[in-house]
């Protein structure tokens, strides 16, 4: 059992301080992330990026925030107003709440009080994160439904399909971590990785989680709920001013949350990387906070990298990847991990680690090959249809004929009769 006795004893003022610091960290990282994303995308695409507002364009994100705050908030007449106004709050609140159980570091002293660098922890903390992030998607679905417009509705429907397809795969990756660490507590999972990070022994789970977390955050190449090329803006087409800014902030905070969760589950959490872990003080005091933030930013860079290099998937590729590749592979890998865990002396024994690494490489290779086949697959051709004469007056609604189509002549109508 994981020792959770260090939690729940903080004075009220320390709980408030932790909550404020976490909120400030998320908001500050979001502001910096937007600027860094623009500059890195410009560098990757041989552009300059923001360079006008402030030194080297550093105040561009602040200027955009002020602009959104001062813009008029337009509410279309056809919206379901209570749900329309509630949806942005659901998205951003769920994104922030998920960070409550993420460990930033070990036990430290804050104003003379010994406390862990974590707001709280639960015996089922990872399931709490999965549940809260699932609720956050309801904000997108409700925004699309309540807007009273076609394109937002299509974006909301795509978002619901995305939740079903990719959160199942994400939840299955958690199961292999639970089996190996024998706990669902985030602090316990980090403690179990003090010698060997799970990215090495659970490589297929990490690859599936990496794919699922991109789909979870609606980022390219999985940004089908937004898809400005085909859905104008998707679920937030009818939103403006601060309500649109809340959706944008929720997207970036979700990116930070899933990156922190990937760090916690697979990259040792706040533990120092090799060779820094050879230093005796690397995993004590406030240094672990530096390693944790650096790992989170490494994952945030991956989000930018994907956006700069990959085109948006077709919808059939998107669904096939989730249902035909990620979910079946996750189920097979869980059985492999459970079997190795049962027949060996323990998850840290040499035979167990060797078997997990070898099997992980094999399963990862199969996963990559299957993913490549799905993404290279050509779209299904529709069955050929017989050419039918076009009648613009059919059904009583005059419709102008499209190019290369002609109306049915009177002689043809008489012969058909």
pLDDT at 415: 47
pLDDT reported for residue 411: 45
pLDDT of residue 397: 56
CA distance 376 to 236: 31
Domain ranges of the chain: 12-272+285-313
Looking at residue 155, what is its pLDDT? 85
Tokens 């939103």, residue located: 239
pLDDT of residue 390: 62
Tell me how far CA of residue 245 lies from CA of 68, 73, 142, 236, 240, in angstroms: 7, 11, 17, 10, 8
pLDDT of residue 303: 93
The pTM is what? 0.86
Q: Note down pLDDT in tens along the chain; length 417 residues.
A: 456 777 888 898 999 999 999 999 999 999 999 999 999 999 998 888 888 888 888 898 899 989 988 888 888 888 888 999 999 999 889 889 988 999 998 888 888 888 898 998 988 898 898 888 888 888 888 888 888 888 888 888 888 888 778 888 888 999 999 999 888 899 999 989 988 899 999 999 999 999 998 888 888 888 888 777 788 788 888 888 888 899 889 889 999 999 999 999 999 989 998 888 888 888 888 899 999 999 999 999 999 999 888 888 888 888 889 889 999 999 999 999 999 988 887 777 888 888 999 999 999 999 999 988 888 877 767 777 777 676 666 655 555 555 555 555 444 444 444
> Alpha-carbon Rg of the chain, whole angstroms?
25
Q: What is the pLDDT of residue 333?
A: 94
CB 128 within 8 A of CB 261: no
CA–CA distance, 131 with 135 (Å, rounded to integer): 6
CA 293, chain centre distance (Å):
18
């Amino acid at each position: 059992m994981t020792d959770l006795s260090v939690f729940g004893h903080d004075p009220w003022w320390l709980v408030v301080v932790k909550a404020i610091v976490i909120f400030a960290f998320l908001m500050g990282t979001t502001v910096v992330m937007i600027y860094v994303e623009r500059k890195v995308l410009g560098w990757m695409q041989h552009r300059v990026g923001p360079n006008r507002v402030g030194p080297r364009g550093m105040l561009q994100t602040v200027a955009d925030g002020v602009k959104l705050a001062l813009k008029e908030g337009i509410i279309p007449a056809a919206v379901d107003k209570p749900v329309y106004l509630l949806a942005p709050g659901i998205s951003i609140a769920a994104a922030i709440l998920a960070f409550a159980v993420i460990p930033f570091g070990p036990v430290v002293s804050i104003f003379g009080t010994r406390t862990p660098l974590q707001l709280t922890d639960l015996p089922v903390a990872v399931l709490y994160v999965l549940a809260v992030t699932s609720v956050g998607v309801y904000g997108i679905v409700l925004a699309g439904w309540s807007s009273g417009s076609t394109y937002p509705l299509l974006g909301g429907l795509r978002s619901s399909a995305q939740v079903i397809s990719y959160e199942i795969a994400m939840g299955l990756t958690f199961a292999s971590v639970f089996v190996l660490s024998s706990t669902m507590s985030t602090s316990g999972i980090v403690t179990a990785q003090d010698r060997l990070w799970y990215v090495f022994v659970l490589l297929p789970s990490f690859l599936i989680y990496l794919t699922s977390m991109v789909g979870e955050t609606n980022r390219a190449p999985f940004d089908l709920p937004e898809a400005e090329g085909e859905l104008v803006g998707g679920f937030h087409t009818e939103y403006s001013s601060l309500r649109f800014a809340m959706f944008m902030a929720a997207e970036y905070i979700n990116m930070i949350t899933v990156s922190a969760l990937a760090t916690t589950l697979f990259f040792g959490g706040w533990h120092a990387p090799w060779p820094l872990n050879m230093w005796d003080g690397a995993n004590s005091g406030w240094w672990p906070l530096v390693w944790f933030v650096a790992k989170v930013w490494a994952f945030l860079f991956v989000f930018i990298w994907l956006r700069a290099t990959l085109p948006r998937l077709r919808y059939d590729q998107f669904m096939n990847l989730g249902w035909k590749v990620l979910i079946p592979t996750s189920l097979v890998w869980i059985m492999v991990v459970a079997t190795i865990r049962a027949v060996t002396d323990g998850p840290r024994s040499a035979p167990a680690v060797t078997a997990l690494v070898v099997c992980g490489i094999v399963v990862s290779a199969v996963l990559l090959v299957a993913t490549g086949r799905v993404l290279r697959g050509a779209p299904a051709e529709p069955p050929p249809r017989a050419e039918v004469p076009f009648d613009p007056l059919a059904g009583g609604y005059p419709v102008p004929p499209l190019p290369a189509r002609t109306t049915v002549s009177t002689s043809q109508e008489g012969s058909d009769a």
